[in-house]
Amino acid sequence: MMIDRLREYVGHETPTGDAQALNAFADRLLDRYAELGGTARRVAAPTGDHVVADFPGRGPLAAEAPLLFIGHHDTVWPIGQLREVMPWREQDGLLHGPGVFDMKGGLVVLEAALEQIADRDHRPVRVVVVADEEVGSPTARELVAAESSGVVAAFGFESPLPNGDLKTARRGSSRVRIEVTGREAHAALEPSRGVSAIDELIDQLIAVRALVSSYDDVLCNVGTITGGGRTNVVPGAAAADVGFRFIDPETERAVLDAVTSLEPIRPDAQLQVSVMSNRPAWQPSAATDELLQKVQAAARSVGQEIDGAPASGAADTNLTGWLGIPTLDGLGPRGKGAHAVHEQVIAASLAERASLVAAIITTI
């Protein structure tokens, strides 16, 4: 049943930014959460709608503060990836396909756990599934913050650490766009009249690298570069998107302040630096350590052992952790290959994770 559901979800491709595909998948989630006894609603966004669902508690804990479960239904893969490059495949206990690990497997785990606790006592559950996580959740940040109000703890359904352990902290993550406007001119007849936007951009990126090298443990990746068009024209426009990762808010603020304060090097060049998305660093805390201990006890009640450790990647749980809410991530199934063509999950871990999540809901 879980494998069938996952195959169905993988078969509905949902690239980030494809509002039509994402909204159609949101319809599936709305129907599914209603079937499971929740009150579900969509939150409109121009690049794809988010989904929020509330499941009432049962028994003595029915009036207690809810648990917050966070997921996303967008993937990094374009429409056609399933047909052309990464067909659904079941082999040697592994399930392959676009989004199977990041993170439609996590959505299936959550649904199965909600089925399992239907007749058991538990506190209320709130679910938030966002549509733009893969680009930093620019339209979902305020939603996640708002729905975090009053919860007792937050859990993410992203993939776990390679050994199956949960994530207890995450680096901060920011996407920055550097845009340069120069002046076009004929590259041979009047080169001195031109101002090369590409040359300016290259020098700015070198300056960014020098800045980052002065800090410990800051990761920097130039993900995209665009500009120019012809070799006989001095390019008048160029841009780069740069990703940064930080372990603490102080370094994050210092680096972003410095990057957004960059000035043009060439006369007549124009420079614009914009922070496209930002996820604050989620640092280790005593509250999260205490939550992990409760989850470990829940895991033992279903015959499992689990631990936790900080992770490098960022997700929506960065925000809940930064807000001071006890937070853990990595409740999705075990596997590997997020954002890679060998993306896969271990089939047996779907049921294992669902059992763990059900134990968490009924014991915390």
- The CA distance from 110 to 50, in Å, is 16
* Catalytic machinery residues: 74, 133
Token match 């993937």: residue? 75
Question: Closest by alpha carbon to 255, among 240, 275, 235?
Answer: 275
CA atoms within 13 A on the CB side of 298: 20
Residue 199 CA: distances (Å) to CA of 97, 113, 179: 41, 54, 12
CB under 8 Å, gap of 24 or more: what pairs does 336-341 form? 336/101, 336/162, 337/101, 338/101, 338/102, 338/159, 339/76, 339/102, 341/85, 341/86
Q: Point out which residues pair with 68 in neighbouring strands.
A: 126, 154
Crossing angle between the packed helical segments 2-11 and 105-116, to the nearest 10 degrees? 140
Contacts of 160 (CB under 8 A, 6+ apart): 166, 167, 330, 331, 332, 334
Question: What are the φ/ψ torsions at residue 133 (nearest 5 degrees)?
Answer: -60, -35
Question: Closest by alpha carbon to 330, among 347, 345, 348?
Answer: 345
3-state helix, strand, coil in the chain (%, to 5): 35, 25, 35
In single-letter form, the type of residue at position 313 comes to G
Structural contact between residues 13 and 25, judged by C-beta atoms closer than 8 angstroms: no
